[in-house]
Structure 1
Amino acid sequence: MKKLLASGKTIEDAVRNGLAQLGIQEDRVNIKVLEQPSKGLFGLIGARDAKVELELLPDGVEEAIHFLQEIAGAMELAVSVERVDENDAVRINITGSDLGILIGRRGQTLDSLQYLVNIVANRHSNHRLRIVLDAEQFRERRRQTLEALSDRMAMKVIRTRKEVMLEPMTSQERKIIHARLQNNPRVKTFSQGDEPNRRIVIGFKD
């Protein structure tokens, strides 16, 4: 871990000087006092500044990004990784060529990677982190596809007045369907089955 020695007239000054050099907040470091300040004889002779050691704590998101880069390197993929801090999560966007292998069929590989990334991040964090992993805006494109599917199936249910059962989906994808149709006055949605084969059913609302 990175360590930095800093000094100041007081312990607080020394810590403040060290944090300024690192460009981080106090919750990102362990602080060890190496030397208390001394005014010396008559406040002049032998006066010593306070000395502290700041040890930089690992950042869970940075560790997760490093983990992703190692995976991409092992797969001989040239990728760029962008971190976006949001209100309730950290989004990590991967860009590059030939990322289909990282996305997998309907995003299954991407979901598995996201699960592993969250484990790595939280192992190196003293507070709960939620990371959303995306590649080439796959999740946004998938959301649009699911919303379009929701609209088509809702119209079919309204036309035939018969239930439609969709293919098995992840909980996140099911949430997209539920949210899309929750305000539709003519259809209702519910989930049926057990993971990983849990499905959404769209029914006619009498």
Structure 2
Amino acid sequence: MKQVTATGHTVDAAVESALAQLSTTRDRVQIEIIEQGKKGFLGIFGNKDALVKVTLPPDPIEETEQYIRNVSREIGVEVDIEVKRSGKNVTYLLSGDKIALLIGKRGQTLNSMQYLAQLVANSCSRQYLTVILDAEEYRTRRNETLMNLAKKMADKAVRSGREVALEPMPSYERKIIHSALINFKNIKTYSNGAEPYRHIVIAPLKK
């Protein structure tokens, strides 16, 4: 968080001075008027400038990007990051050498980084943001794997007549499973367990 105080002949002039110092725009700052300022006698004697305090809160997207870079560097990976935002969804596309280290087994490292990055983003955001981390299109490949797994396990549940429990997954991966099986009329899906061990159960419907 950055903060400056500035003076000017008017409040607007003082604010503009502060914005120039912060290299930002009015819509991104919080403004506190300390002194309104006043004109003296005949506009000459006793003039008093306006005084304002302008605060620039941390930008959640920039803060999160820096966090990702720092964590990646600690792991031993220098990353290039492309940021895409659509409404409340913010996607960070990671690329670079040794990127597999950031993905981890079955995406566990990437999932953990994504969870922590979302906490960082929402610690300084005025609205709730959904953060997605992707590395070398891993999410696309993982989504295809999950959809195939969902259909395979649904068939197994129907053939055996027994419930099938999948491995623990983060919430957005569970949504992929639920969506993949929404049109299967002979099974139902539900989530069970507590985070981080919450998982999907595929249950056959009794005839």
Q: Shared topology, TM-score over 0.5?
A: yes
**What is the match of residue 167 of structure 2?**
168
Instruction: Report how far residue 49 of structure 1 moved.
Output: 4.1
Q: Is the 8 A contact 2:103 2:110 kept in 1?
A: yes
SS in 1 for 2:58: coil
CA–CA distance in structure 2, aligned partners of residues 93 and 29 of structure 1: 31
Q: Is the 8 A contact 1:94 1:134 kept in 2?
A: yes
For residues 143-198 of structure 1, give each alpha carbon's deviation from its aligned partner in whole angstroms, at most 9, with x where no partner exists: 1221123234445556x374462531313322211111112334332345665263
Instruction: Report how far residue 141 of structure 1 moved.
Output: 2.0
How many residues are aligned here?
Answer: 204
**What is the match of residue 112 of structure 1?**
112
CA–CA distance in structure 2, aligned partners of residues 31 and 97 of structure 1: 46
Instruction: Report how far residue 130 of structure 1 moved.
Output: 3.5
**What is the match of residue 139 of structure 2?**
139
Q: 1:25 to 1:136 in 2, by over 3 A?
A: farther
Instruction: Report how far residue 81 of structure 1 moved.
Output: 1.8
**What is the match of residue 80 of structure 2?**
80
SS in 2 for 1:41: coil
Percent identity of equivalent pairs: 35
Instruction: Report how far residue 95 of structure 1 moved.
Output: 1.8
Instruction: Report how far residue 80 of structure 1 moved.
Output: 1.2
Instruction: Report how far residue 79 of structure 1 moved.
Output: 0.5
**What is the match of residue 177 of structure 1?**
177
Tell me which amino acid in the other structure corresponds to 1:165: V
Tell me which amino acid in the other structure corresponds to 2:23: L
TM-score normalised to structure 1 length: 0.76
Q: Is the 8 A contact 1:185 1:205 kept in 2?
A: no
CA–CA distance in structure 1, aligned partners of residues 118 and 71 of structure 2: 15
Tell me which amino acid in the other structure corresponds to 2:108: Q
Task: Compute the RMSD of aligned alpha carbons.
Answer: 3.2
- Unaligned segments of structure 1, at least 5 residues: none
CA–CA distance in structure 2, aligned partners of residues 177 and 118 of structure 1: 22
CA–CA distance in structure 2, aligned partners of residues 62 and 32 of structure 1: 28
**What is the match of residue 148 of structure 1?**
148
Q: Is the 8 A contact 1:4 1:18 kept in 2?
A: yes
TM-score normalised to structure 2 length: 0.76
SS in 1 for 2:166: coil
Q: 1:19 to 1:183 in 2, by over 3 A?
A: farther
SS in 1 for 2:113: helix
Alignment map for 1:16-55 (pairs within 5 Å): 16=16, 18-19=18-19, 22-26=23-27, 28-29=29-30, 31=32, 33=34, 35-45=35-45, 47-55=47-55
**What is the match of residue 203 of structure 1?**
204
Tell me which amino acid in the other structure corresponds to 2:99: L
Q: Is the 8 A contact 1:153 1:164 kept in 2?
A: no
Q: Is the 8 A contact 1:168 1:200 kept in 2?
A: no
Q: 1:197 to 1:8 in 2, by over 3 A?
A: closer
SS in 2 for 1:176: helix
Q: 1:137 to 1:202 in 2, by over 3 A?
A: farther
CA–CA distance in structure 2, aligned partners of residues 86 and 121 of structure 1: 15
**What is the match of residue 64 of structure 2?**
64
